[in-house]
Structure 1
Amino acid sequence: MEKKERIKKRPTLLQGMIPILFMVISLSFGVGVLKLRTEPIIILSAFVAGVIAWKLGYTWDEMQAGVIDKISRALPATLILWSVGLLIGSWMYAGTVPMIIYYGVDIVNPKFLLVTAFLITAVLSTVTGTSWGSAGTIGVAIMGIAAGLGVSLPATAGAVVAGSYFGDKLSPLSDTTNLAPIAAGSELYEHIRHMLYTTIPASLVALVVYFIVGMNSAGSATTPETVLTLQAQLSEMFNWNIILLLPVALIIAGSLLKWPTIPTMLGTSLFSVLIGIFVQGFTLKNGFISLIQGFNVSMTGFAGDVAPIVTTLINRGGVVSVTVTTVLIFCAMGFAGIMSVTGMLDVVLEAMLKKVKTTGGVILSTIASCFTVAFVTGSSYLSILIPGELFRDAYVKRNLHPKNLSRTLEDSGTVLVPLIPWSAAGAYMTTTLGVSTIEYLPWAIMNYMGIVFAIILAFTGIGIAKLNPEKESEAAVEVN
């Protein structure tokens, strides 16, 4: 006897809103108050969405198909995330990142400390793809120098945060830089190039302010002991050689020449392991361990007590380090899959965009959604994934290229989270730099100026890419 097919109903706005509201409230209380893990809460939210889907007439097989579809779309970027873990572990093993930090600290100019703080952390975060690692290593050293020079600590912390998130936003090694194209449906390197429209102007504004303030607060003092210790121990652990910069050159070349992302990262990782073996004298076994579990200071054979700042720098990388992000992606895609296949996202989106008629309105709505998710959840990942899924089809319907959406997600998602005191990023920066979030917030200029420029571009049309320029031209001719 054939199984009777269930009649599917179109969800109401209330039915579409229930899973979203449940997730928002649960994350606010669960993560914000009880300090619970995010992933189980999202799974529970997916269960709520599943119950409503079942009442609408959808079977488990149909919901599962929606979940599998979303996860399959995320797999290419997930492979990139794993490649990032491999790359960071191998760069630590080769001595590439330690050398950049060693000489970066060495060139800090007290007269232009704020400018230097921004530039060095921007370079380091771009090379490594991590804002936390940049702030926790070179950022700590810069804060020590600022204290010795009598330079404003909130201003210095703001410059460090802004510089750290410059790379977190633009680096192909950054998890959020990879997540935004996943959510929007754009391609990694076109997404990075498109972000320059807002990131470069925002950074220039920040540099001008840092230059003016820095000129008025410059002084002279001896280099803090922490900086001397950092350099001394790094130089004992590694052999400095220009060859160590070749992995960086390969990644930059791959970005400019549009080489396939994953093969480029994997090839660079293996090349970095060879550098670690032949230049640093490390073992092949430790090279492979670094790729999977991350590099550890014990692999250098350094004798003596290792300074905490050095340990923070060295013990990083490996595929294992990105597994938490991978799990979060799968959980979020599970929730999004059920919401999408049942049409619940569609009814919510239709209600939100009912009165939005212009490109500026769509982008402004996206920014508002990112703000809401970021403030409620304190998660840069969710502030990208949820609005991305919500607005993805809306951009396509309005002939807007998906890279407009991925850029807006980063402009108002990634860089906003460290400015929220109750977020993990805000708490980390406060603990690491010794300055409260509220104090450094005004000085993290790049973080919020990017949003300002995003709004300007949205309403002027500058830097707004069309999905099909010919279609727009034909429409314009018909109107005339």
Structure 2
Amino acid sequence: MKNVSNERAEVRCGLLGGAIPLIAFFLAIIVFSIYGIRGTKSYWSAGVVAMIISFFIFKDKDQFQKAVVDGVRDEVFVMSLLALYFAGILSKTLTAGHLVNGLMWAASEVNLSPAIMPLATFVITAAIATASGTSSGSVATMTPVMLPLCVSMGCSAEIICGAIVSGAYFGDNLAPVSDTTIASAMTQEVSLGKVVRSRLKYSITGAVFASIMFYIFGGAAVDVGAAATIKADASYAISVAYVILPILVVVLMICGKNLLTSLLLTDLIGMIMLLVLRDAGPVEILSAGGLIVSGIEGMQGATILMMFAFIMNSLTRSTGFMDRMIDFVRMHAKTPRSSECGIAAFICCLMIATGGNTASIAVTGPMARRIMRPFRVARERTANILDGMTSGVGCFVPHSPANATMASLAVSLGVVANESFSAFDYAKYNFHGMALIAIFWLAIFTGWGRRIETAEELLADGIEVE
């Protein structure tokens, strides 16, 4: 192949041509869903369709190939792929250890009501996500435990999925150790402390709304017949010991270990526990049909879908379309409100198209800082808008890492029989996502929380006053 420069790729259809890869991918997912073709594996076809369309849009096929390769070798994608595979192995380990049966026994001992399980799931996941700072990691940790347990108790699978994803994005939005919190703060030249303190009022308001809704809908979403037939087997009491595995993932991340390291070490300990407690032997763990292979296979739906999302993002980025959109927003931003509207709309569209919180903030953040700098609006406010919008919208995007992980695990665990299961099936229960989107648009239009920084504040942080 001939050498390809780093110049912008030339495409047909002018400015719109640069956006076609992402537009085609997103529209294909929507059209497929309308016609009942859903699920992470079904959306692979949307990726192929979008790639074919993009191939004909790009004038230079070598630039097209380079952009595709750049998307696949993106460091974030590679790390996400490996983390998802190890998360799949963990879910199979917990299944082999009969953790759900052990937790059902424990729930029967304390007479735990199925009606409060959606709320409890949201609160526990939110706490774990806040401690660990990762939405997809929290989904990977909580789903193998809470989803089969709650469904076995008679809860709707959809409302539990909504509770887990809502809790995961609550923590991802608020946690000081979250990459999105850090990215939003750094791109706006403001300290993490200021960002987290100012963000509390928005996050807590959304969490209170979500908690009320999960409490109200929790009882309505319980299958009374299924709940009444639950039989707790005391012989599975020892299986409660496996709960240490998801807890260990969280503890390791709190101690500064990355998600991949935490999952790898936990998988190792989990396999040792299976051998010691005689819940599985070497053959059940290592064979072609064993838990390692089945765990990896169960996550292929999510990883391949994410691969296509990263490819489409790389194709669009190579055309310079993102830069042109940034220039357009900057040119039309005349007031603090109109500027915030433009920034919020841009990052929402970017999040819908790419599904990546951190990537969307990394692209939009520097532009947002340049736009808002002349108005002296508190830097933490812009950081909150960036992170809040991506977290809210992320709850509903089927190709976001959290939702792709959720859908793959739900099918892999056998909790839902339909392989077309996706974020669209539990979107109506993503109460925290709904709240975040509504709260931040309300804040933008009403000015709630908008504060003008003084010259002294800016100078104290080493920011040049314009």
For 1:4-59, what per-residue CA distance to the aligned partner results, in whole angstroms no more than 9, with x for missing partners?
Answer: 999978663232344444444443334422627322332332333333331xxx45
Instruction: Confirm whether residue 397 of structure 1 aligns to residue 367 of structure 2.
Output: yes
Contact in 2 for aligned 1:162/1:444 (Cα 8 Å):
yes
- 1:394 partner letter: T
The aligned counterpart of 2:211 is: 207
Contact in 2 for aligned 1:416/1:447 (Cα 8 Å):
no
Pick aligned residue for 2:82 from 79, 82, 90: 79
The Cα of 1:72 is off from its aligned counterpart by 2.0
Pick aligned residue for 2:340 from 348, 352, 360: 360
For 1:445-467, what per-residue CA distance to the aligned partner results, in whole angstroms no more than 9, with x for missing partners?
Answer: 3341132344467665689xxxx
- 2:30 partner letter: S
Within 5 A, what are the aligned runs for 1:403-418? 405=386, 408-415=389-396
Contact in 2 for aligned 1:293/1:319 (Cα 8 Å):
yes
Q: Aligned residues: percent identity?
A: 12
Pick aligned residue for 2:151 from 140, 147, 151: 140
Contact in 2 for aligned 1:43/1:335 (Cα 8 Å):
no
Instruction: Confirm whether residue 89 of structure 1 aligns to residue 92 of structure 2.
Output: yes
Within 5 A, what are the aligned runs for 1:27-42? 27-33=29-35, 35=37, 37-42=42-47
CA distance 1:446–1:228, shift in 2 (3 Å)? same
- 1:166 partner letter: S
The aligned counterpart of 2:282 is: 284
- 1:261 partner letter: L
The aligned counterpart of 1:446 is: 432
Within 5 A, what are the aligned runs for 1:332-371? 332-351=309-328, 354-356=331-333, 358=336, 360-366=340-346, 368-369=348-349
Count of aligned residue pairs for this structure pair: 395
Contact in 2 for aligned 1:169/1:415 (Cα 8 Å):
no
- 2:323 partner letter: D
TM-score normalised by the chain length of structure 1 = 0.63
- 1:262 partner letter: L
Contact in 1 for aligned 2:184/2:365 (Cα 8 Å):
no
CA distance 1:90–1:117, shift in 2 (3 Å)? same
For 1:349-403, what per-residue CA distance to the aligned partner results, in whole angstroms no more than 9, with x for missing partners?
Answer: 54466434657335521464279x4xxxxxxxx5614x87666422123348999
CA distance 1:143–1:68, shift in 2 (3 Å)? same
Distance 2:308 2:179 in 1: 14
Distance 2:230 2:433 in 1: 31
- Aligned residue for 2:257, secondary structure, equals coil
The Cα of 1:276 is off from its aligned counterpart by 1.4
The aligned counterpart of 2:56 is: 51
The Cα of 1:253 is off from its aligned counterpart by 1.2
- Aligned residue for 1:329, secondary structure, equals helix
Distance 2:368 2:278 in 1: 54
CA distance 1:413–1:279, shift in 2 (3 Å)? same
Distance 2:166 2:429 in 1: 14
Instruction: Kindly report the root-mean-square deviation, in angstroms, between the aligned alpha carbons of the 2 structures.
Output: 5.2
Distance 2:200 2:104 in 1: 25
Within 5 A, what are the aligned runs for 1:77-226? 77-104=80-107, 107=110, 109-110=112-113, 114-120=115-121, 123=124, 129=140, 137-143=148-154, 160=160, 162-169=162-169, 199-208=203-212, 224=225, 226=227
The aligned counterpart of 2:465 is: 478
The aligned counterpart of 1:323 is: 300
For 1:108-147, what per-residue CA distance to the aligned partner results, in whole angstroms no more than 9, with x for missing partners?
Answer: 555xx64443114654796663787678634434546xxx
The aligned counterpart of 1:246 is: 244
Distance 2:365 2:6 in 1: 32
The aligned counterpart of 1:150 is: none
Distance 2:433 2:8 in 1: 45
Contact in 2 for aligned 1:117/1:163 (Cα 8 Å):
yes
CA distance 1:96–1:471, shift in 2 (3 Å)? farther
Give structure 1 stretches of 5+ with no counterpart: 145-155, 173-177, 295-317, 374-381, 464-468
Distance 1:284 1:168 in 2: 34
The Cα of 1:269 is off from its aligned counterpart by 0.7
The aligned counterpart of 1:66 is: 67
CA distance 1:196–1:51, shift in 2 (3 Å)? farther
Contact in 1 for aligned 2:82/2:260 (Cα 8 Å):
yes
Contact in 1 for aligned 2:28/2:49 (Cα 8 Å):
no
The Cα of 1:267 is off from its aligned counterpart by 0.9
The Cα of 1:270 is off from its aligned counterpart by 0.9
Distance 2:184 2:304 in 1: 19
TM-score normalised by the chain length of structure 2 = 0.64
Distance 2:150 2:325 in 1: 42
Distance 2:10 2:246 in 1: 52
